[in-house]
Amino acid sequence: MTRKFFLPLVFCSVALAQTSTPAPPAGAPVSARALQIHNSAIIVDTHADTPQRFLDEGFDIGSTDPNDIGHVTLDKAKRGNMGAEFFSIWVEPLSNQGHYAQHTFDLVDSVYEQAARHPDRMMMAFSVADIERAHREHKLAALMGIEGGHSIENDIRLLRDYYRLGVRYMTLSWSNTNEWADSSGDIDDPKVQHHNGLTDFGKQVVLEMNRMGMMVDISHVSDKTFWDTIATTKAPVIASHSSARALVDAPRNMTDDMLRAVTKNGGVVQVNFFNGFDDEDFRKAMVAQKKDQDAVMKEYVEKRKAEGKTVTYVDLDRIEHVAKVAGVDHVGLGSDFDGVSGATPQGINSAADLPKITQALLDGGYSAADIKKILGGNLLRVFGEVEKVSREMQAGTSH
């Protein structure tokens, strides 16, 4: 999730603007060739903030309400051929102080409850094999990733409990530095006590995740935490929703050196769909007006529209940059659906629009095989490798 604290206001204002002026389709309509590739792929998205809607709004993922502004429903997922979604278990660190675990459990429960309500179209999934089975059964595979290491309350046993409940990745920090991992979000704040990356306990957390088979997610962490993690982990890492700093100079984005390190590590960078990470002007406006970000967001979207420009992300800059620097085997999709405050690129209004990404990749000259890797194959490879390292560590055969 990105800047969740101003979500409701902006989400509504932008959504209203969008419904009153229907967005033109981004680029050409999806061709038969693109659809054929798209529909034969197992598509995996690694970051959607929908659980907050389940819990806070009582939102039903089976909703077919045409006025609903959400990005992820079973219907939209089906139309976009979404195979697997990692639902984000994100505990806001200030308002939940003192009960991080409780809120983590509540969010986990909310995902299970949705799956129980729609057993014909959705199933809980905990492995690569589960994702493949869901694909064969034409169901959405629902997985879970914890966003922010503060959820474990500095307790390795809670970490293990989360694994047992089905959590298959954890972002070591969200925008807040916790007691064992520095975050990019507050790394310049002198009031926050930092650790120069990962503490010894933080390294122990990474190794325990390796041992259990929980993917280590480096989105949001500080640069030093990233490098400490790369030096510690025995399994490939993921960035569940990140972008490239070469395009937008935000601390949360990854430098080219970091992208290359993920290549060497065998991991994957799942590219974030959020415009703010892709547009330097927008980022500067956000930084300058921290207190009034909803207004900035609205103004940005309106300005782009007045200029006749789309609020882009189907222009593929980000995916292409990561593919160029890290390699096509190390890039994927981390949408940040339902967490980007209505600031998705024009033409991508929900999971139903995912075929447009395939069309854009095809237009960009990518082969069908490479497109399938980007859409989910790379993440499945990394997840499979993480499972393998886990088996080796548990058997005591790891190097």
Convert residues 219-258 into a mask of x (bound to Zn ion by CB under 5 A) and - (unbound). Answer: ----------------------------------------
Please say which residue, 1 or 323, places its beta carbon nearer to Zn ion: 1
Please say which residue, 273 or 383, places its beta carbon nearer to Zn ion: 273
Chain position whose Cβ is nearest to Zn ion: 1
Distance CA 23, CA 44 (A): 26
- Output the smallest distance, CB 241 to Zn ion, in A: 6
- Output the smallest distance, CB 318 to Zn ion, in A: 15
- Output the smallest distance, CB 67 to Zn ion, in A: 27
Distance CA 293, CA 196 (A): 29
- Output the smallest distance, CB 147 to Zn ion, in A: 6
Please say which residue, 121 or 220, places its beta carbon nearer to Zn ion: 220
Report the DSSP pairing between strands 215-217 and 167-171: parallel
Please say which residue, 1 or 230, places its beta carbon nearer to Zn ion: 1
Q: Is 17 exposed, middle or buried (0-12, 13-18, 19+ CB in 10 A)?
A: middle
- Output the smallest distance, CB 89 to Zn ion, in A: 12
Please say which residue, 18 or 219, places its beta carbon nearer to Zn ion: 219
Please say which residue, 1 or 215, places its beta carbon nearer to Zn ion: 1
DSSP string, 280-341: HHHHHHHHHTGGGHHHHHHHHHHHHHHTT----STT-HHHHHHHHHH-GGGEEEE--BTSST
Sign of CA dihedral 217, 219, 224, 226: positive
Tokens of 150: 């503060």
Say whether residue 340 binds Zn ion (CB under 5 A).
Answer: no
Distance CA 300, CA 186 (A): 24
Count of positions on this chain that bind Zn ion (CB under 5 A): 1
- Output the smallest distance, CB 367 to Zn ion, in A: 31
Site for Zn ion in 179-208 (CB under 5 A): none
For residues 172 and 149, the answer to whether their CB atoms sit within 8 Å is yes
- Output the smallest distance, CB 216 to Zn ion, in A: 15
Please say which residue, 339 or 347, places its beta carbon nearer to Zn ion: 339
For residues 329 and 284, the answer to whether their CB atoms sit within 8 Å is no
Site for Zn ion in 1-20 (CB under 5 A): 1
User: Residue length, the chain?
Assistant: 399
Q: Which spans of this chain sit near Zn ion (rule: CB under 5 A)?
A: 1
